[in-house]
């Protein structure tokens, strides 16, 4: 078994630091689960090869070095199953936006809620953030539930905010502030 730098958030779940070697298993998940993931996420249609995933990882590693991104892969019982990231990190305003996805075989088990909750705690404690924003397609019930169960507050709906497969999608906006 390959060893990775990671944060263990439960006996079975860990957030794994991305490496180029993780591109292949992550691409295989995306490729196998295109219908599920592509319904609400725009990156699926332009991630067509392992090299595309490698380029994404390189871009995010650069962003991590610059302090604008934080990317981790979710591993459950030694199997990669999803992704979680902070983007648009603004250290001056102490805020960021969180994004995530999970392969369909693992939806509904509480894995993403645990991952989002832990990742936010890490962002507050280790990155000094105060505010995290989460956007979820209005029709993506599991993602909206993750937001609520992870302690985010619904603050509004952004109409026609994301273009996916020829359609402009409405997104619910949630915010979570660091507890004082």
Q: What is the DSSP string of 96-151?
A: EEEEEEE-GGGTTSSHHHHHHHHHHHHHHHHH---EEEEEEETT-HHHHHHHHHTT
In tens digits, what is the pLDDT along the chain, a chain of 180 residues? 455 677 899 999 999 999 999 999 999 999 999 999 999 999 999 999 999 999 999 999 999 999 999 999 999 998 999 999 999 999 999 999 999 999 999 999 999 999 999 999 999 999 999 999 999 999 999 999 999 999 999 999 999 999 999 999 999 999 999 986
Q: CA 163 to CA 180: how far, in whole Å? A: 37
What does the pLDDT read at residue 6? 78
Q: CA 156 to CA 136: how far, in whole Å? A: 11
Residue with tokens 């459950």, as numbered in its chain: 76
- Give domain status of residue 67, yes or no: yes
Quick one: tokens of 125? 């404690």
- Give domain status of residue 157, yes or no: no
- Give domain status of residue 112, yes or no: yes
Q: What is the CATH number of the domain that holds 35?
A: 3.40.630.30
What does the pLDDT read at residue 2? 56
Predicted TM-score (pTM) of the model is: 0.93
Tens digit of pLDDT for each residue in 73-96?
999 998 999 999 999 999 999 999
The closest alpha carbon to 111, from 137, 151, 149, belongs to: 149
- Give domain status of residue 12, yes or no: yes
- Give domain status of residue 118, yes or no: yes
Per the structure, the complete domain to which residue 86 belongs is given by 6-131
- Give domain status of residue 96, yes or no: yes
How many independent structural domains does the chain possess? 1
- Give domain status of residue 142, yes or no: no
What does the pLDDT read at residue 180? 65
- Give domain status of residue 100, yes or no: yes
């Amino acid at each position: 078994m390959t060893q990775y730098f990671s944060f263990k958030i439960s006996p079975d779940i860990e957030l794994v630091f991305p490496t180029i070697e993780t591109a292949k298993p992550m691409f295989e998940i995306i490729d196998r689960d295109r219908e599920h993931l592509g319904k609400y996420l725009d990156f699926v249609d332009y991630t067509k090869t392992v090299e595309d995933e490698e380029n994404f990882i390189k871009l995010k590693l650069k962003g991590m070095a610059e302090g604008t991104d934080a990317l981790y892969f979710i591993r459950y019982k030694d199997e990669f199953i999803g992704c979680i990231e902070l983007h648009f990190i603004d250290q001056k305003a102490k805020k960021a936006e969180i994004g995530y996805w999970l392969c369909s075989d693992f939806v509904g088990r509480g894995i993403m809620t645990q991952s989002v909750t832990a990742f936010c705690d890490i962002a507050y404690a280790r990155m000094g953030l105060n505010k995290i924003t989460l956007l979820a397609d209005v029709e993506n019930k599991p993602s909206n539930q993750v937001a609520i169960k992870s302690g985010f507050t619904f603050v509004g709906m952004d109409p026609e905010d994301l273009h996916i497969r020829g359609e402009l999608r409405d997104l619910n906006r949630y915010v979570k502030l660091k507890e004082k």
